[in-house]
């Protein structure tokens, strides 16, 4: 699988980009702090699809609770695969890269988060922020997370969710957080699609050649090895630079300052 840090950074990039175009009536951020929170939720959600294996970053994020949940999701995913597989789909012994790695899952999780917030309000908002911001910490600050363990991640995630939930009134929060979580899940799948293993993003709704769980992937010459030299030396650093640049651009006053500087430069030229 693509490394957890790469998934998280790609989710942050997608969140920072989406924050620039998402209208306020759909939960679009209206301040720098909200932009960073939205991007953090997206970064954390970009780890969620790997909750179908106990070997993943997300499974280690909240100690025994997340490990047990990953075990359950693995079994449910395997059951769903066996229930829906086509006549030419191979038999499987595990559920990794099945149910949670589909567009159907991303849409369902997005809609589910929105529905929970509409139904339960503040507790659902805090719960969503706690989970996703905790995962973002685990993915983006891996060294820190390893040092302080799942207890440290859990404590800091609790503090962050308590500090940020007031920015999301029920109606706005249901849209903003739903969009951020769904986007993060989709970005995860697209990241896996560039690897040599591919990802069954359109399964099981679009059969192809007798298979329902065929993998969406690049041609072999263009695909990468998950966790390989290209990801570590090129893809990861490029995504990090993009995230830093977009984060700086999101700071209050930076776009205007850049525009003024360019205007002055053109005038002098």
Decide: helix, strand or coil at residue 53.
coil
d(CA 28, CA 191): 24
Taking alpha carbons only, the member of 221, 39, 241 closest to residue 139 is: 39
pLDDT for the residue 3: 79
The percent of residues in the chain predicted with pLDDT above 70, rounded, is 99
211-236 tens-digit pLDDT:
999 999 998 888 888 888 888 899 99
Tally Cβ neighbours within 10 Å of residue 233: 10
Compute the distance between CA of residue 8 and CA of residue 45 in angstroms, rounded to an integer: 8
> Are 48 and 184 contacting, i.e. CB atoms less than 8 angstroms apart?
yes
Residue 267 pLDDT: 76
Predicted local confidence at residue 269, as pLDDT: 58
Cα 26–Cα 9–Cα 165 angle in degrees, nearest 5: 40
The CB density around residue 93, as the number of other CB atoms within 10 Å, is 6
Name the domain count of the chain.
1
- Which of 146, 147, 180, 149 is CA-nearest to residue 164? 180
Q: According to the per-residue pLDDT averaged within each range, which of 42-51, 158-167, 247-256 is highest?
A: 42-51
| Residue 2 pLDDT > 70 | no
Quick one: which of 88, 77, 76 has its CA closest to 207? 88
Q: Lowest-pLDDT range, 18-22, 43-47, 189-193, 252-256?
A: 252-256
Domain assignment of residue 142, given as a range: 4-268
Q: Which two tokens stand for residue 207?
A: 């059969």
d(CA 194, CA 209): 22
What's the pLDDT band for 179 if we cut at 50, 70, 90?
A: very high
Residue located via tokens 């799948």: 189
Round to whole Å and give the CA distance between 109 and 111.
Answer: 5
Q: State pLDDT tens for residues 82-121.
A: 999 999 999 999 999 999 999 999 999 999 999 999 899 8
φ and ψ of 215, to 5 deg:
-95, 130
pTM confidence score: 0.93
Q: Up-side HSE of residue 259: CA atoms within 13 Å toward CB? A: 5
Helical spans, DSSP H, in the chain: 4-21, 32-45, 64-84, 103-120, 122-140, 142-164, 170-193, 229-230, 236-250, 254-268
């Amino acid at each position: 699988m693509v490394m957890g840090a790469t998934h998280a950074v790609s989710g942050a990039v997608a969140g920072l980009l989406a924050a620039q175009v998402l209208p306020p009536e759909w939960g679009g951020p209206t301040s720098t702090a909200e932009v960073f929170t939205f991007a953090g939720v997206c970064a954390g959600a970009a780890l969620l699809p790997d909750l179908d294996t106990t070997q993943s970053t997300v499974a280690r994020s909240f100690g025994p609770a997340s490990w047990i949940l990953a075990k359950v999701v693995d079994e449910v995913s395997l059951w769903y695969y066996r229930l829906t597989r086509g006549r030419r789909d191979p038999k499987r012994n595990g559920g990794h890269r099945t149910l949670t790695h589909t567009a159907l899952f991303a849409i369902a999780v997005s809609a589910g988060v929105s529905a929970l917030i509409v139904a339960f309000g503040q507790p659902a908002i805090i719960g969503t922020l706690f989970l996703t911001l905790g995962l973002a910490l685990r993915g983006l600050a891996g060294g820190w997370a390893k040092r302080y363990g799942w207890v440290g991640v859990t404590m800091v995630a609790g503090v962050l969710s308590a500090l940020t939930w007031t920015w999301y009134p029920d109606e706005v929060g249901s849209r903003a957080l739903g969009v951020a979580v769904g986007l993060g899940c989709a970005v995860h799948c697209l990241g896996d699609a560039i690897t040599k293993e591919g990802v069954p993003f359109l399964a099981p709704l679009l059969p192809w050649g007798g298979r329902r769980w065929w993998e969406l992937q690049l041609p072999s010459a263009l695909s990468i090895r998950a966790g390989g030299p290209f990801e570590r030396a090129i893809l990861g650093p490029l995504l990090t630079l993009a995230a830093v640049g977009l984060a700086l651009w999101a700071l209050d006053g930076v776009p205007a300052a850049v525009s003024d500087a360019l205007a002055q430069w053109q005038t002098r030229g």
